[in-house]
Amino acid sequence: MHEEEDMGYTAKVIRVFIASPSDVQNERQITREAIYQWNSINSLNTKLVLVPVGWEKDTTASYGSPPQEEINAKLLATCDLLVGIFWRKLGSETKEFISGSVEEIEKHTSSGKPAMLFFSNAAIPKKEIDEDQYQKLEKFKESIKHKCLYMEYKDYDEFASLIFDQLSRQMNEEWVKSELHTLIEPVNKSREILSTLMTEWSLNLDIQHMSEWTTCLTYGTPYLPKEMYDRLDQLTRWILSRTWGTNQEAYIDGLYRFRLILSDLLLFYMKYSEYDGSKGYIIVKKYNNPNLKESDVNRFVMEYEFVCYLVIDLVAELCRATNYLLDLFRTEIDPMFLLNIGHIYITTGPHMDGKDLYYVVLYKERDRIPYENLDKFKTDLKNRDVCFGIGVGIDDPEFLEWYHKS
């Protein structure tokens, strides 16, 4: 084996300003992901690198300077392309314009620079409709339709497809070949590869909905839909086959341990489950066999409880590892990466009082993922920030004491 040298290359940097009110945070993140994806596919050949720019990441207000003026001077004026996104509102008024986003679009296009505007057709819940904002938005849409690229979309998937396609089209336009007031800058290939792979990892994991889809294993009677099993099983192979570039030891180790947790969760769950056509894979309740002796029934009940709670603990560990990787990438590369979802949490219940409980799970020591294997995890889990079961098996005195108390 030989270590590949981390060769950089020189590329023209095109700054892409993302303008929008606060109600389209998911679309803002999708735009960043589309930019990372475009870079991964095209940057090396085209010698172009797109850089997402947004007020929430790239500026801080100066004393005595209105925030919008700060955004215009420090960010907007330095950008070459604008992406505008709207759904149910136009945003707050500024000194000069009906909203901050409108001001950004008008100032950008008036200087002769290109803009792409996207408007969501998704239904607006009645309780969230602001009639005044909605009417202003409709009026703005009519006024801007023929001034720049104008597109409508029905959901996140369609938006993701549209934004990637339109970014690709823009990079073939004549203005890209002309003099931009961005700089020629060196590009770190490893960092670019990492950004792309972390985005792909999050999409393959369906991280946007992870706090929801994990409930099938942690809430009520556990079950694992076949399509979910297939997707997670495929993810273990995807991680195994990736090349992460050089000098990325923290991510290589983190994803290796994430994969260990996911593999152990799937293997352990499938060992005690069978396929049910309606729900997918369910943990077998061996104690329901009417021919069993009472002593065997009790033993199988204990086994069922042990398995269910260990599954919850493994799901919690998977969420911890996910949160670790999110925090690592946000700290080192992109502070805005999937910031709309924050940390992943798990849900358990319903409990004896009828309530559900929610847990944001994090490692006490944040420097690495400590998971090594399932056997060691069984002994270590009582030292995690939260654990749901205990013991290494149904004959373990710790488990028996816990079981008879619960």
pLDDT of the residue at 72:
65
50-74 pLDDT, tens per residue?
888 876 554 444 444 447 676 766 6
Give the per-residue pLDDT at 214. Answer: 96
Residue 1 resides in a domain: no
Pairing label, strands 9-19, 280-283: unpaired
Q: Is the pLDDT of residue 368 over 50?
A: yes
Q: Is residue 5 part of a domain?
A: no
Looking at the structure, do residues 229 and 152 belong to the same domain, yes or no? Answer: no
Buried b / exposed e over 217-251, threshold 16 CB at 10 Å, is: bbbeebbbeeebbeebeebbebbeeeebbeebebb
Q: 153, 187, 221: which is the final residue of a domain?
A: 187
Most confidently modeled range among 43-47, 73-77, 321-325: 321-325
Average pLDDT rounded to a whole number, residues 140-155: 90
Domain range for 289 is 205-405
Q: Which has the minimum average pLDDT: 42-51, 78-87, 307-316? A: 42-51
In a domain, 307, yes or no: yes
SS3 147: coil
1 pLDDT band (50/70/90 cuts)? very low
pLDDT in tens, 117-130: 999 999 988 888 88
Q: What angle do CA 197, 203, 205 make, to 5 degrees?
A: 100
Q: What does the alpha-carbon distance between residue 117 and residue 85 come to, in Å, rounded to a whole number? A: 6
Residue among 348, 311, 309, 341 nearest 323 (CA): 341
- For the domain that residue 28 is a member of, what is the CATH number? 3.40.50.450
Number of domains in the chain: 2
Shared domain check, 376 and 258: yes
Specify the amino acid at residue 235. L
State the pLDDT confidence band at 188, using cuts at 50, 70 and 90.
low
Question: Residue 4: what pLDDT?
Answer: 33
* 176 vs 301, higher pLDDT: 301
| Residue the block writes with tokens 């938005």 | 137
- Statement to judge: residues 183 and 312 lie in one domain: no
Average pLDDT of span 374-394: 94
235 and 161 fall within a common domain: no
Q: Are residues 288 and 221 in the same domain?
A: yes
**Is the pLDDT at 160 greater than 50, yes or no?**
yes
Given a cut of 50, whether residue 7 has pLDDT beyond it is no
Same domain, 176 and 221: no
The residue out of 187, 213, 243 marking a domain boundary is 187
Both 275 and 399 in one domain: the answer is: yes
| Coil/strand/helix, residue 387 | coil
Chosen domain end from 130, 155, 187? 187
